[in-house]
Structure 1
Amino acid sequence: MLDDTLLDDPAALQGADHDHALLALAGAGARVRTALRLADASGLAGLRPEGRPRGVLVAGHGSALAAGELLAALAGTACLVTTLPPTDVVPLAREDRRLRTPVFSTGLTWQLPGWAGPLDLLVIASADGGERGLIALAEQAYARGCALAVIAPTGSDLADAALQVRALPLPFVQPSLPDREDDRGVVGRGPGEPDLPAEDPGALWAFLAPLLALTEKTGITQLPAGSLSATADWLDESAVRYRPDAAAYTNPAKSLAARLSGTVPLVWAEGPLAGAVAGRFAAQLADRAGRPALAGLLPQALLAHRGMFVGQLGGGADPDDFFRDRIDEPDPLLLQVLLLRHLPGREAATGDEAQSGGPYEQPADDDTPRGVAVARAHRLAAAHEVRLTEYASGRTDVLHALADLVALTDFAAVYLGLAAAAG
């Protein structure tokens, strides 16, 4: 089990933060502002699209794909948004093998769907810009007549290739962080697999900001005026709220990290917006905290995860003798359900205020299909003595609600990993 006192030790947390993940998250607002400014300077301000594309494809890996999933949730039915993950990997070229530490993603490959053509927009996104497969994908899309945009670091191979295929270049804003050191004091990617480095947790907003600026121009998304700029301010406020020196009882991200300790999380979501955040949270728990988690969208998650409640992870499941001495045995892993919701215009209870501890009474004004699924989730958890906690945003602007949920869960995943490392 996690020693909760570590979460209230800022020095221990920062000492374990070899790759400055907390700083990367705290700088998300600044990266959004810089990305918007650089996107305008790169030609986005003067873009005059002839109409909305038939479909948008977002190619990349890690946070680039997460940004595509969030875009799909924000676009709704206005446009088909499809993410393109890597499909294969090839041996590294000779020049790549000469690198001191070749990164596995350099050899990844992507494939353009057969239906993609002149009516579609392909956005290629990379935090490194060295993936040979993404360069080949850009060339393939150019041959098919697709409209192209590339989000990549200035001066990278991918950014240079974007100019050759007449793609709109949208710079990827790098974090302003000190050099990272591993356990031996060597400057580099930090401890872990050298060719599979942990991803910068703030990269999501460096991808999402220019992506949304582009989709606003093309009519794919229709956010309120000033929504992107205000989101940067809200991310700054979140960084203050979730800062390392804020006590756990006043810091919801630390409280969530403590709640997850010693559990197998089921991250459930109500609606596509929260569903995209749930997938992101599960990925961050694996990457930043080394913890497995299952994400699912209601009502499908109830059917897919039902068996876990009646198995050995359920709160009331104990097939052994009641009188057996368990003093020297480790605490068993138990299920923990986290329900992410967007309740626009409503005061949404979060954390301890939304736990299910007994029969769940569905609100009289919540007889929608989603409300029925949420009520059933509470009943399932209560019946099997599994703790269920709701985390919801009541902000009416969908992008601000997204920032609410992403900031909370990103910081929680990082705190959980740092506290485990510090212990």
Structure 2
Amino acid sequence: MLDDTLLDDPAALQRADHDRALLSLAGAGARVRTALRQADAAGLDRLRPDGRPRTVLVAGHGSALTAAEVLAALVGSATLVTPLPPTEAAAPRADRAGAPPVFTAGLGWQLPGWAGPLDLLVISSADGGEQGLIGLAEQAYARGCAIVVTAPAGSPLAEAALQVRALPLPYVAGVLPDEGRPAAPAAEPDLPAEDPAALWSHLTPLLALTQKLGLTQLPYDALPGVADLLDAAAVRCRPDAAAYTNPAKGLAARLAGTVPLLWAEGPLAGAAAGRFAAQLADRAGRPALAGSLPQVLTAHRGMFTGQLGAGADPDDFFRDRVEEPDPLHLQVLLLRHLPGTAVGTAAGTAAGTVAEGEQDGPAEVTEDDERPRSFGASRAHRLAAAHDVRLTEYASTRPDPLHALADLVALTDFAAVYLGLAAAQS
């Protein structure tokens, strides 16, 4: 059982946050600005593309592949965007100091057989030491593909980018641990947890590049606006904000002791739901299933008729909340993008970040909301109600889809970290 009072103890949260995940998320907006500035300095502003690529392949692992899913949602059917995950894993060699090798160092990637001079390969890595990605760049060079590499300066992958005539873009790293604060040993040294804000270091150069190529039709200030929205989210979700005013803490408390089903309406919300499932696993050690309406209703239907769905009532007044452990039950979280509408009981507007008529961050959609729902959303509500499963709906009303994504991802990223930190202290 999660003790909700732990979420309102900033000192306890700081002690539990060994790798400074909250600080990393708080600096996400600054990382977006830095990535934009460094991408221009690397030559992106001087790029003069000659037509659009037939296909954009985005290679990497973790958040780099999430960035590819976001790009695919933004591009739509104009150009094919293909995430390129690793397809094999070999035993990596130990480094010269004798340290055990990181598992990702042994991953391997393979270009599709049809990839060639009409295609663009984007390789993105937070480490820059994966030999598999270096080999992929060499494959693409031999095939005549255009190549862009996002990696830390001075890394082996960044050096290899120069050899294959790729456009090198910098990867902006996060915060460093306090010098006087020893880092906690990782539970799995060869599979370390990913930086929770790494998504924005992968996504920002990728979107700046594709905007330059004409693949996305974002407003000129869309990416700087994302930085402002991430800053505003960091203020709303800061550790010293009480749980009743902090939407991320409230969401974390709501998901405690549940098996979350993360449903989404639309491709951008689908990317946010998949991201949330990954963060819950990585940061909170909690399993979650993500999917998009309407097909997720049939995929998850069987869970509602099993033990997790039948009779699960988290609001039972007479249940002994102290002596009796919480029963494990389903919890549905529905993420949506509803541009240009008023939603829920939104908080006040943060100056300079939210246009008139928009809410400050994603809002919970209440049951008395009178706007018509789509067929998929209506069916989701009926399915949850028929089996006594709580369904919570969050929606962003921002007109720009990228800004709506930033709303949903910022809220759920903070919620996953808070849930993990509170559970670690229970």
TM-score, normalised by the number of residues in structure 2 = 0.91
Structure 2 residue identity aligned to 1:270: E
The AA in structure 2 aligned to 1:85 is: P
Partner of 2:384 in structure 1? 381
Offset, 1:101: 3.3
* Cα displacement (A) at 1:236: 0.6
Residue matched to 2:423: 420
Q: Which residues of 2 match residues 7-406 of structure 1 at below 5 A?
A: 7-93=7-93, 96=95, 98-179=97-178, 187=183, 190-316=185-311, 329-349=324-344, 354=365, 363-364=371-372, 366=373, 371-406=374-409
Matched residue of 2:42: which SS?
helix
Task: Output the CA distance in 1 between the equivalents of 2:4 and 2:323.
Answer: 21
Residue 353 of structure 1: how far off its partner (Å): 5.2
Deviation of 1:91 after TM superposition, in Å, equals 1.7
**Would you say the 8 A contact 1:15–1:422 is kept in 2?**
no
Q: Structure 1, unaligned stretches of length 5 or more?
A: 319-324
Amino acid across the alignment from 2:403: H
- Deviation, structure 1 residue 67: 0.8
Query: For the structure 1 residues 212 and 418, does the alpha-carbon distance in structure 2 shift closer, same or farther, using more than 3 Å as the test?
Result: same
Look up the SS of the partner of 1:250 in the other structure: coil
Shift of 1:231: 1.0
Give the deviation of 1:349 after TM superposition.
Answer: 2.5
Supply the distance in 2 between the matched residues of 1:47 and 1:330 (Cα, whole angstroms).
59
- 1:269 deviates by 0.1
Whole-Å separation in 1 of the counterparts to 2:363 and 2:140:
50
SS in 1 for 2:148: strand
Q: Does the 8 A contact of 1:349 with 1:390 survive in 2?
A: no
The C-alpha deviation readout for 1:7-32, integer Å capped at 9, x for no partner, is: 11111111100000001000000000
Provide the identity percentage: 74
Question: Closer, same or farther in 2 for the Cα pair 1:361/1:406, shift >3 Å?
Answer: closer
Q: How far apart, CA to CA, are the structure 2 residues paired with 1:326 and 1:69? A: 41
1:238–1:407 contact (8 Å) kept in structure 2: yes
Question: How far apart are 1:331 and its partner, in Å?
Answer: 2.2
Classify 1:230/1:186 alpha carbon distance in 2 versus 1 (closer, same or farther; 3 Å). Answer: closer
Residue 300 of structure 2 aligns to a residue whose secondary structure is helix
Unaligned segments of structure 2, at least 5 residues: 314-319, 346-361
TM-score, reference length from structure 1: 0.91
Distance 1:400 1:326 in 2: 39
d(CA) in 1 for partners of 2:186, 2:163: 37
Q: Quickly say closer, same or farther: Cα 1:200–1:241, change in 2 above 3 A.
A: same
Q: Which residue identity is paired with 1:122?
A: L
RMSD: 2.1
Size of the alignment, in residue pairs? 404
Offset of residue 277 of structure 1: 0.5
In 2, distance between residues paired with 1:406 and 1:284?
A: 10
CA deviation vs aligned residue, 1:128-176 (integer Å, no higher than 9, x gap): 0000000000000110011100010000000000000000001000113
